[in-house]
Structure 1
């Protein structure tokens, strides 16, 4: 297989209905901040099924692809695989860090976006993502 010299691309769920989806977003962004945009970026998951050319061009150049899903539905992994890409590492937060999925809308109707987000879960998820980026 040809060695690619591009960035690692993270495709994260970003699902806004649950704590797990938002945690994938926050942890992925934290991982990019830690490692640096010169080595890793977050891909546009929505661009894959609608064939957005720049999304494919950047993914084609990727050194490796990591998917980060919040729940067992694994929407990001399935979307990336359906686009024809090989995934170097698939992370699923409910499986890999033992997160419990909850609706962001549970409880008080005046919830804020981060009310059901656990910072410890974000930290654990970020550590898994960083480890996957740094693995050879």
Structure 2
């Protein structure tokens, strides 16, 4: 991301080059939908649609995590269920969320204790979020 000639510690090449300006936070909870949310975040990064920021770093008050967020054009959160834990962590930290997604709202059933999800579920969520982000 563009930082007016400055580098923020921990930035990757996409962030430094200005190619990715969307900070992505995901759930990585102990269910299929939590793991699906995280997998989608990774796919978005690999597609150069944004960069991931450590949610635990925000909860722990790590300065470099906050710096990465401050350089973002937009902040998106992908939660694995309606409890919206990732969203709540960011709200408590005072971070403005531009787009929030709950994968269960796309018809994917949460199975607590299971970390397995299908390629079809990945396709459903990835397509929905990618189309939404491409319209930004």
Please state which band the TM-score falls in when normalised by the shorter chain.
0.7 to 0.9
Q: CA RMSD in A?
A: 1.7
After TM superposition, the score normalised by the length of structure 2 is 0.79
Task: Determine the structure 1 residue equivalent to 2:44.
Answer: 31
Task: Determine the structure 2 residue equivalent to 1:100.
Answer: 109
More relative contact order, 1 or 2 (CA 8 Å, 6+ apart): 1
Displaced runs of 4 or more, over 6 A: none
Q: 1:22 aligns with which of 24, 35, 55?
A: 35
1:79-115 CA distance string (max 9 Å, x none): 11111111111000111x111000244xxxxxxx5xx
Could you list the runs of 5+ residues in structure 2 that have no partner in the other structure?
1-17
Could you list the runs of 5+ residues in structure 1 that have no partner in the other structure?
106-112
SS at structure 2 position matched to 1:48: helix
Between Structure 1 and Structure 2, how many residues are aligned? 118
After TM superposition, give the deviation of residue 9 of structure 1 in Å: 0.6
After TM superposition, the score normalised by the length of structure 1 is 0.79
After TM superposition, give the deviation of residue 25 of structure 1 in Å: 1.1
| Residues 20, 93 of structure 1: 8 Å contact kept | yes
Quote the Cα distance in structure 2 between the aligned partners of 1:83 and 1:131. 28
Going from structure 1 to structure 2, the CA distance change for 1:132 and 1:79 (only over 3 Å counts) comes to farther
